[in-house]
Structure 1
Amino acid sequence: MSSFVRPVCSALALVVASLAVPSQAKTATDIPLEAYGDLPTVEDIALSPDGTKRASIRNFKGTLRLIVMDDKDNVLANASAGTSKVRSVRWADDSTILVTNTATVSLGPYFAASKYELTGTIIVPLNIDQKPELVFSNRRNIADTTRGAYGIRRIGGRTVGYFGGIALDTGIGGAQFRHGRTTLYAVELPDNRAHQAARAPAEDHYRDWLIDAAGNVAITLDINNTNGKWIIENAQGQELARGVDPTGDMGLICFGQDGATIIYSVRDDDEVDHWYEVPLAGGQATEFLPDIAIERLYIDPASNKLLGYRKNDESGETVMFDPLAQSALKRIFAAFPNRNVRLIDWTEGFRKVVLRTDGNGDSGTWYLVDVTNRRADPIGYERPAIWGENVGPISRVEYTATDGLELDGVLTLPPGHEARNLPIVVLPHGGPRAADEVGFDWWAQAFASRGYAVFQPNFRGSTGRGDALRNASYGEWGRKMQTDISDGLAELVKRGIADPKRACIVGASYGGYAALAGVTLQHGLYRCSVAVAPVADIDMFFDNRMYETGRSHMARNSWREELGDPKHYDEVSPRKHAAEADAPVMLIHGKDDTVVPYRQSVVMADALKDAGKPYELVTLKGEDHWLSRSETRQQMLEAAMVFVQKHNPAD
């Protein structure tokens, strides 16, 4: 392998192994937009349980491939991942790989939605005598789609995977859905022999399960979708906990550290999330880590026991309950200062781990860390054409909303430009239950490479900043959530960073709604708006959600809580205010969007046309809500960039 010249600091005394240096253009503007809009060259990497092999999903010019290598970097497999959308890769055992993908499908006129995003799990044996196949594909009475993965266990020398499935009735007319509710199946791998492990819930009920280390269904959660009543029972049918949650915001998490307890989450009447721990044998539930904000948990895949957690604060500290694991990870993370570091995968005892880093100067790097031999091997670059000084500087900006709420956002500056009086693209995130962090964002970096400052505000409703901020968004679509965004722009103007006369607003999903609201519900702020997969009519969106969920009472309560009183939806629907648009609008939407229907953009375009307002509608054929395909993602980025440059030139 060739020389690798970007050293990692020696806090762990790791030896950084060699890997080809990412290419660098002279300036960021020399880098083609496709380098930003393409899918990353590395999608996912997983370690085999024994740590001797790694499987990865790689993007080669828009085609995804499964690459399997041993610890000597010998290629054991190099196969096409197909035309579907690959979401993850993991190991079932040391010789069997599971690839999760999704596809947008139409199920016919008898289903509530015109299209669904269905998940499939592909079994890939390293044994060349066995062919890859979908879980359940050899069973006529189970649909070949998986609804959730509940763990992999070794039982009597066999590997067994637990997956949710949909039971079918077979007859002369062919296979038909029995009822559509999830049944739990145990599947012997890699042979793909399935048998029922737990029955499906009753009508209008939802179920979740925890599988213990021996492969037993140890815990069952049952939720009544009609009234929100829920109950948790152990394998003996003994009640461990019960309650009522009208919005369905509760669920099973995992087993406790020693496997003798379980952890579950509940949202209280004040919309604050609490985690509780209760003994498997029954007893008093106690609140789990009540004073610690947690971003994610680390769970042992072989037993579903809790190993540790990552704090949801500025430190981002990873905490492991085992002292040896904690010591090892602390030294590993210290070896990558000033970068966002994520623990992706690990072997038992954390002897080997896979990390992903990004941030200033780093467009996404994957490392294999061998703790025993004290070395870190970079094993993949997500965007090798974008590196070092060509990554626009990224920083956090704190500001205060008009009503005094403390907020923050992420500022990306154009490489090589002084942070003074810059044209700006305001880029609110989707969700809205999400957040932007100080890291490499391909969309923000693309605009920065063309001379724009980019601001990504974490408005009320954003996650990772406490329950109070998250819950402050209820009923505030188009209101305080919207002014939070423009308050962030005002802060950058106040600091002299942004030119208030050269601002555009761009976003996707909820961010697309905010982009439309920025020029219809607000005025005098933006020179243009680019809305990707936006909600344009809230009343239509709400009705669509209700229809697709079968008028679920829990779904109704949840969306009413989020969106507020339906009688006010027209007040904050951009479609209803199209005649008030004060800047050109570009709408971009995938035809296969199963989250926000394509029709949302069509009706917005019609409203703008009827009002005589300038607009463009770009249709992405075969694309979903998440811009999962390389070609159409690049189409979106190219169209958005041309539109912004036309209406808000950077020079």
Structure 2
Amino acid sequence: MGMLAFALVCSPATLAAKVQEPIPLAAYGDLPSVEDIALSPDGTKSAAIRNIKGEMRLVVVDESGDVLVNSSAGTTKVRGVSWADDSTVLVTNTATVSLGPSFTVSKYEMTGTIIVSLNRDFKPELVFSRRRTIADTTRGFYGIRRIDGRTVGYFGGIALDPGYGGNMRFRHGRTTLYAVDLPENTPRQVAPPPSEGHYRDWLVDVVGTVATTLDINETNGKWSIENVRGDELARGVDPNGNVSLICFGKDNATVIYSIRDDKEVDRWFEVPLAGGTPTEFLADVPVERLYIDHETGRLLGYRKADESGETVVFDPAAQSAISRIFRAFPGRNARLMDWTSGFTKVVLRVDGNGDSGTWFLVDVANHRADPIGDERPLIWGKDVGAISRVDYSASDGLALDGVLTLPPGREAKNLPVILLPHGGPHAADEVGFDWWAQAFASRGYAVFQPNFRGSTGRGDALRNASYGEWGRKMQTDISDGLAELVKRGIADPKRACIVGASYGGYAALAGVTLQHGIYRCVVAVAPVADVDMFFDARVRESGRSHMTRHFWQEELGDPKHYDDVSPRKHASEADAPILLIHGKDDTVVPYRQSTAMADSLKDAGKPYQLVTLKEEDHWLSRAETRKEMLQATMAFVQKHNPAK
């Protein structure tokens, strides 16, 4: 069969020449115009979360383009949208909430699931909101199933008991599994919570039975997986708790789970639900994302976490169609986001060189791909800085790579450069449109995002090479990337700054406190500044969990040496101006990390600024504070490292 030629029917917004010079920073820092798009099961409708004039809205349209719903998505932070059935939409959001003095953390990021029925008789409401004995928050989503002709959603929830004075309080805080009849929003318990000091996860089969349960002892790391009859399917011990239920196998007769072995290698296994010997699954195949059937929970395919980014589905006919679809987008980073049964219609998100992010609805039968959303309509074509992969070697010979973004219209020669290490640290940057990198490129800077040791998608050996290397080899991996750009004549070594968020913020601070003579300025957003303080907070917030302590000691190394790699402890050695930016509602890296660093810099007489983002979390989820961060960052970098 020949290659299927898809007609790319482009909107005027997509093709219009963007002539505004320069593009406002707000166009980069704003939230995307499209956050998420999902298809109804029958493929006749789509639901999207769209940023319309600064307001997040849920927009549902049918295949004729008629708008069925156009309503505010609320004041909380919207994370995604999906369909429960052809007339019920689920919107996932989060909110930062303050907790009482009896909790180990002062703030927590709560997740909520809003039920939106296309039937006008039902008003939108949160899952569990009709039951006073369950908190209005969801802890995990375990699928949608059709049971006796009704749509049932499976969610983790937190049971409540009346407290002193009649107020409701958490019964114990451990997750209980509930089946919720949608859209009536009536829950019933289908699996009890784990016992004290344990964690549980579940898989729910096509008929609504809790078919598999994973139980982990958080004290000693012992774990077991059992089927519905209580028969043990697998067991082991992992002091870090690195074991997970994944999904059902492609024929629904097996369960797939992952472990991390004694060599710190992630391995997947498949075992029959009826019992038997586990066999390794997808050995040596790096997986970035799984594609799981919406109605059954069985595995349909996966996307590879390597340079190819190949999408693989197990059904041969569907694989043929998917392959043809992706060939219609050569040279761009295309990702499968949603699909109907049999992949007759799919939603793709595409970005890369010349493309700041476009969503397409692909009708396979009619050989047609229609753009249904531009994420950043002001940034397109020639205004997108060229993006490429750069391979290089660390000073100890380890093979590394990074993503280079170049300023549009400028020769790639002797440019001012921004080093932009990613967070995590177990994450990675790939060749694609990055709003932060592109903002710097638009102002004349080359931007390099190094995938230092600890980065994912490049094998377990590279990921595990970060253990105990914070501020050490992980740090020199970043400056080795700069050296490679200098060697190639791309970057001017005298005009380099380092900018980052979360772990990247730590690396930025370490670049001028633990390293010297490399960078002209630093911007650290939500950084870890004091490693010992960070470690203590993680352990305390976990309730002194042995598993959490073991995990972070493996990651960070011997606690006796935390001061050696803490930028705060070396503030007096800082050799460049530092801008600290931190959200007050950060529940991952506490705001205190930046204020403590600021105090130490002040005491040492070092130049610094501290920008506080009110009501902002760790992920810069709010448009106004994200734009505030970008404006402050750019002004600081341009002052201390002008591009011209």
The yes-or-no answer on 1:486 pairing with 2:457 is no
User: SS of the counterpart of 1:12?
Assistant: coil
The yes-or-no answer on 1:411 pairing with 2:404 is yes
The one of 508, 531, 539 aligned to 2:524: 531
Matches within 5 A, 1:42-191: 42-170=34-162, 172-191=165-184
Indicate if the aligned counterparts of 1:534 and 1:600 stay in contact, CA closer than 8 A. yes
Q: Report the Cα distance in structure 1 between the residues aligned to 2:158 and 2:47, rounded to whole angstroms.
A: 29
Matches within 5 A, 1:233-248: 233-248=226-241
1:589 alignment partner AA = H
Q: Report the Cα distance in structure 1 between the residues aligned to 2:85 and 2:497, rounded to whole angstroms.
A: 50
Indicate if the aligned counterparts of 1:341 and 1:358 stay in contact, CA closer than 8 A. yes
The one of 571, 577, 586 aligned to 1:593: 586
User: SS of the counterpart of 2:216?
Assistant: strand
Q: Report the Cα distance in structure 2 between the residues aligned to 1:170 and 1:540, rounded to whole angstroms.
A: 36
Q: Deviations over 1:4-48 (max 9, x none)?
A: xxxxxx952222234223454336x51000000000000000000
Q: Report the Cα distance in structure 2 between the residues aligned to 1:443 and 1:475, rounded to whole angstroms.
A: 29
The yes-or-no answer on 1:503 pairing with 2:459 is no
Indicate if the aligned counterparts of 1:392 and 1:449 stay in contact, CA closer than 8 A. yes
Q: Report the Cα distance in structure 2 between the residues aligned to 1:25 and 1:316, rounded to whole angstroms.
A: 30
Range 13-22 or range 90-99, more displaced = 13-22
Matches within 5 A, 1:202-351: 202-351=195-344
1:287 alignment partner AA = E
Equivalent residue, structure 1, for 2:601: 608
Equivalent residue, structure 2, for 1:370: 363
Equivalent residue, structure 2, for 1:627: 620
User: SS of the counterpart of 2:360?
Assistant: strand
Equivalent residue, structure 2, for 1:194: 187
The one of 22, 33, 41 aligned to 2:33: 41
Indicate if the aligned counterparts of 1:24 and 1:385 stay in contact, CA closer than 8 A. no
1:229 alignment partner AA = K
Indicate if the aligned counterparts of 1:367 and 1:380 stay in contact, CA closer than 8 A. yes
Equivalent residue, structure 1, for 2:543: 550
1:44 alignment partner AA = D
Equivalent residue, structure 1, for 2:446: 453
Equivalent residue, structure 2, for 1:7: none
Q: Deviations over 1:359-384 (max 9, x none)?
A: 00000000000001110010000000
1:283 alignment partner AA = G
Equivalent residue, structure 2, for 1:30: 22
Matches within 5 A, 1:559-578: 559-578=552-571
1:89 alignment partner AA = V
Q: Report the Cα distance in structure 2 between the residues aligned to 1:446 and 1:300, rounded to whole angstroms.
A: 38
Residue 315 of structure 1, CA deviation: 1.6
Cα distance change on mapping 1:247 and 1:580 into 2, 3 Å: same
Q: Report the Cα distance in structure 1 between the residues aligned to 2:9 and 2:382, rounded to whole angstroms.
A: 23
2:289 alignment partner AA = R
Cα distance change on mapping 1:18 and 1:494 into 2, 3 Å: closer
Q: Report the Cα distance in structure 2 between the residues aligned to 1:354 and 1:49, rounded to whole angstroms.
A: 12
Q: Report the Cα distance in structure 2 between the residues aligned to 1:321 and 1:13, rounded to whole angstroms.
A: 23
2:596 alignment partner AA = V
Q: Report the Cα distance in structure 1 between the residues aligned to 2:8 and 2:282, rounded to whole angstroms.
A: 36
User: SS of the counterpart of 2:632?
Assistant: helix
Q: Report the Cα distance in structure 1 between the residues aligned to 2:374 and 2:19, rounded to whole angstroms.
A: 19
Q: Report the Cα distance in structure 1 between the residues aligned to 2:479 and 2:412, rounded to whole angstroms.
A: 19
Q: Report the Cα distance in structure 2 between the residues aligned to 1:375 and 1:129, rounded to whole angstroms.
A: 36
2:46 alignment partner AA = R
- Give TM-score scaled by structure 2 length: 0.99
Range 11-20 or range 63-72, more displaced = 11-20
User: SS of the counterpart of 1:221?
Assistant: strand
Equivalent residue, structure 1, for 2:533: 540
Residue 103 of structure 1, CA deviation: 0.1
Residue 295 of structure 1, CA deviation: 1.8
Question: Which ranges of structure 1 fall in alignment gaps of 5 or more residues?
Answer: 1-9
Q: Deviations over 1:43-102 (max 9, x none)?
A: 000000000000000001321000000001110010000100000000000000000000
Indicate if the aligned counterparts of 1:423 and 1:453 stay in contact, CA closer than 8 A. yes
The one of 416, 420, 425 aligned to 1:427: 420
Indicate if the aligned counterparts of 1:167 and 1:178 stay in contact, CA closer than 8 A. yes
Indicate if the aligned counterparts of 1:537 and 1:600 stay in contact, CA closer than 8 A. yes
2:56 alignment partner AA = L
Identity over aligned pairs, percent: 76
1:144 alignment partner AA = D
1:95 alignment partner AA = S
Q: Report the Cα distance in structure 2 between the residues aligned to 1:289 and 1:18, rounded to whole angstroms.
A: 38
Q: Report the Cα distance in structure 1 between the residues aligned to 2:634 and 2:303, rounded to whole angstroms.
A: 36
Residue 448 of structure 1, CA deviation: 0.2
2:7 alignment partner AA = V
1:170 alignment partner AA = P
Q: Report the Cα distance in structure 2 between the residues aligned to 1:587 and 1:270, rounded to whole angstroms.
A: 38
Q: Report the Cα distance in structure 2 between the residues aligned to 1:176 and 1:321, rounded to whole angstroms.
A: 47
Cα distance change on mapping 1:576 and 1:24 into 2, 3 Å: farther
Question: Which ranges of structure 2 fall in alignment gaps of 5 or more residues?
Answer: none
Cα distance change on mapping 1:18 and 1:441 into 2, 3 Å: closer
- CA RMSD after TM alignment: 0.9
Q: Report the Cα distance in structure 2 between the residues aligned to 1:261 and 1:247, rounded to whole angstroms.
A: 25
Residue 298 of structure 1, CA deviation: 1.0
Equivalent residue, structure 2, for 1:4: none
Equivalent residue, structure 2, for 1:3: none
The one of 498, 504, 508 aligned to 1:515: 508
Residue 297 of structure 1, CA deviation: 1.4
Indicate if the aligned counterparts of 1:24 and 1:390 stay in contact, CA closer than 8 A. no
Q: Report the Cα distance in structure 2 between the residues aligned to 1:415 and 1:141, rounded to whole angstroms.
A: 57
Indicate if the aligned counterparts of 1:575 and 1:603 stay in contact, CA closer than 8 A. yes
Residue 429 of structure 1, CA deviation: 0.3
2:491 alignment partner AA = A
